A and B are shown apart, each in its own frame.
Chain A
Amino acid sequence: MKIKVKRIKEILGFGVLHVCMLCVLMILAVIVYDIVSKGSGVISWDFLTKPPVDGMTKGGIFPAILGTFFVTLMTAVLAVPLGMGCAIYLNEYARDDGLTRFIRLSIRNLSGVPSIVFGLFGVALFVDACHFGTSILSAGATLGLMTLPLTITASEEALKTVPRSYREGALALGATKWQAIRYNVLPLAIPGILTGMILGLSRAAGETAPILFTGAAFFLPDVPNSILSQFMALPYHLYIMSTQHHNIALVRPIAYGTALVLIVLVFLMNLVAVIIRYRLRKKGNAHG
């Protein structure tokens, strides 16, 4: 009898855990289904290639797509070299001492800093102190620093997968440490690093809070012509279209279309990263 009660408890318990998992699946399914079903009707060639017209009640979202592209590029300019450099230091040069532990602690804490606080930091440093104004440069730099923890961690993971013997072999043949890293370690780690970078940049592309006051603009008639111009961005455009526009009900379809383009963009970047990772694994096996 006692065994039976135990068995029933087990079935019920695992049932509850199962329901938890299904709930999480449901949440994602509802999000994706709602946006795809209501957003796909709006998507057309014109929507993707034309600017908004008639007080943003008609037309497309081309400037927002372009703006997000530019600011993500700017983010990459900062985050890629700095992220890689820091990872190379931590994995290749750093000793296991207090300084290294302190750097790692800082990285973990930096990843927990709220995005709006990065926005304030961007305003204080880039917009105000550096006199970059509200611009692609300010917003990109803010996002670049924000994605650093992600890009560093991912790059370090990639460097860790390179076997020790690759470094030792080069050193034994008389190469310097940097030569060993440059010619023997990095070439193998680059695809993995690239994967991490793209994942980090996909997060940055979807961020709104850090660019609110560092460069994103409500509406611009022209595309940005320098890194000191303001820009329209997809996430900011979605925010405006769903809360700030003078006729929110009328532009709801445009908001759905913008949301769909944004999640497709983020999803595509993730997909590219996954494909690179997959190819890398296959290649790694062939060599091994």
Chain B
Amino acid sequence: MQRRHKEKLIELIFLFNGVLVVLVLAGIFLLLLKNALPAFKEVSVVHFLTKPIWNPDAYDQATYGLLPMLVSTLMVTLGSLVVAIPLGVGTAAYLSDVASPRVREIAKPVVEILAGIPSVVVGFLGIVLLGPVISKLTGSYNGLNALNGSILLAVMALPTIISLSEDALASVPRAYEEASLALGANRWETVLRVKIPAAASGILAACMLGMGRAIGETMTVLMATGNAAEFPRSFLGPVKTMTSTIAIELGEVAYYTTHFHMLFAVGLMLFIITFIINLCADMIFHRHTRGLA
């Protein structure tokens, strides 16, 4: 009898442990919300979402407009995807359909090591390596701009896109490939017209997860994009993303000021945006696996 009670207790402990993950996720959302709400006692939500200026230190009237940093974030993210999607999907197709087993043995760890390089190191190289190159090519002052950030973010998003796209391509049933070859298509046509379309939703999910990664990346954009507070104008100008704004300003503000709470509001927006992207990716991915089964 006692033995059964003990078993029940142990199972309950593990159940609680499992539910804890849900609590952490909910806790993040609720704590961000709790710390963001006081900001909207002084500044309206409309002000936050529509004002094109973020200037918390203004002499007369502080403005807290999300737009400049939202546009900056979208700019560097889209810029990074332009580089990372073709490169990532191309590499994944190479690994799954062209590479010999030996090449694959070498390439897999390469992607894993790339994924393991800390973002602060990538950001550092953006300053010392990529910055001077961009500066020389475009004549901009130090090469710390949206273009630099985009390229670094592409490097950060690549491992996600490569490994998940490769999984998606690998999950295409062999029969598809064989049918295509039997109908007289060559291997390239099979990859391009049969395998990639069949894996399209999985690849799309991979790209969306890469995009979520890029939107949330902090250190690389913080170090390499110049962080000017003005509204972003071009890829060759400095930008200040949502993540960099939090990283720079949270260290300077006094607790419980409007500015402090505003930074949590920015964090909340970031959380919501990445959450929606991840959820969509998840739904697309599940449709993909079900579609093939």
Contact = CB atoms under 8 A, between A and B. Distances in A.
B120 A24 contact: no
A170 interface: no
A21 B17 contact: no
Given A89-B15, A120-B246, A124-B31, A213 B91 contact: no
A227 interface: no
B32 A120 contact: yes
B221 to A, nearest CB: 10
Q: Could you say which interface size class chain B belongs to?
A: 35 or more
B178 to A, nearest CB: 18
Interface in A134-163: 145, 148-149, 152
B107 A21 contact: yes
A203 B116 contact: yes
Contacts, number: 257
Interface string A92-117: 11100001101101111110111111
Contacts of A145: 24
A230 interface: no
B3 A176 contact: yes
Q: Is the interface of B mostly helix, strand, loop or mixed?
A: helix
B293 to A, nearest CB: 16
B101 interface: no
A13 B21 contact: no
Interface stretch (B54-62, B64-72, B124-132): B124-132
B18 A114 contact: no
A208 B119 contact: yes
A219 interface: no
B279 to A, nearest CB: 7
B176 interface: no
A129 B271 CA distance: 20
Interface in B73-100: 86-88, 90-91, 93-95, 97-99
Contacts of A21: 90-91, 94-95, 99, 107
Nearest to B219: A208
Interface of A: 6-7, 9-10, 13-14, 16-21, 23-25, 27-28, 30-31, 34-35, 82, 85-86, 88-90, 92-94, 99-100, 102-103, 105-110, 112-121, 123-125, 128-129, 145, 148-149, 152, 176-178, 202-203, 206-209, 212-213, 235-236, 238-239, 242-243, 252, 255-256, 259, 262-263, 266-267, 270
Interface of B: 3, 6-7, 10-11, 13-15, 17-22, 24-25, 27-28, 31-32, 34-35, 86-88, 90-91, 93-95, 97-99, 107, 110-114, 116-125, 127-129, 155, 158, 162, 186-189, 191-192, 209, 212-213, 215-219, 222-223, 243, 246-247, 250-251, 255, 263-264, 267, 270-271, 274-275, 277-279, 282
19 contacts: A17-B93, A23-B87, A24-B91, A34-B125, A34-B129, A85-B17, A103-B18, A103-B19, A110-B21, A110-B25, A114-B215, A115-B119, A116-B218, A117-B270, A208-B118, A212-B247, A213-B251, A239-B219, A270-B116
